[in-house]
């Protein structure tokens, strides 16, 4: 009988974990929920969405920085057009680069924020227009940002 209680406790913990399911990182923007991969260190930010052949319209990559600063992105080795949405620390959209085109050889175009940004959300090209995104919109982040480096 003394082994039954620990076994029941373990079973209830396991059932609770499976009922909750895996936590999913996402952001919300203009009523759209977008599942995101988080890029929070130099290596993951440098890799970004390179070498991907497609990205679903409800998916993206959230680049996270430790401070607000002007940001510049490029499309080297990126195979698909992307929208780049730049947000400040409060989640306010400060700039949009629409339909940035893949770059297969140097020199590649640079896509700047033209304003200090803490977060950059990359989406499939055309997503910003489809969602009606405008400067001043607010991003709601529901993601484990981890340790930003």
What's the pLDDT tens digit per position in 93-121?
999 999 999 998 899 999 999 999 999 99
Q: In Å, what is the CA distance from 4 to each residue of 8, 9, 16, 50, 94? A: 6, 9, 18, 52, 58
Beta bridge mates, 87: 93, 119
**Tokens found for residue 13:** 């913990």
Asked whether the whole model's pTM tops 0.85, one would answer no
- Give the per-residue pLDDT at 133: 98
List, as one string, the DSSP characters of 112-134. Answer: EEEEEEEEEEEEETTHHHHHT--
Domains in the chain (CATH in brackets) are 23-142 (2.60.120.1140)
Q: Does 67 have pLDDT greater than 90? A: yes
């Amino acid at each position: 009988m003394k082994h039954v209680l620990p076994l029941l406790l373990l079973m209830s913990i396991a059932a609770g974990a499976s009922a909750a399911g895996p936590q999913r990182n996402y952001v919300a923007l203009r009523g759209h929920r977008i599942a995101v991969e988080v890029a929070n260190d130099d290596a993951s930010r440098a890799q970004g969405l390179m070498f991907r052949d497609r990205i679903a319209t409800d998916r993206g990559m959230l680049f996270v920085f430790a401070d607000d600063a002007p940001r510049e992105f490029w499309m080297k080795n990126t195979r698909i057009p992307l929208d780049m949405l730049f947000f400040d620390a409060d989640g306010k959209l400060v700039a949009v680069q629409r339909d940035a085109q893949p770059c297969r050889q140097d020199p590649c175009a640079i896509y700047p924020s033209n304003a200090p940004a803490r977060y950059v959300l990359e989406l499939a090209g055309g997503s910003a227009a489809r969602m009606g995104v405008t400067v001043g919109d607010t991003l709601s982040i529901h993601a484990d940002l981890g340790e930003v480096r």
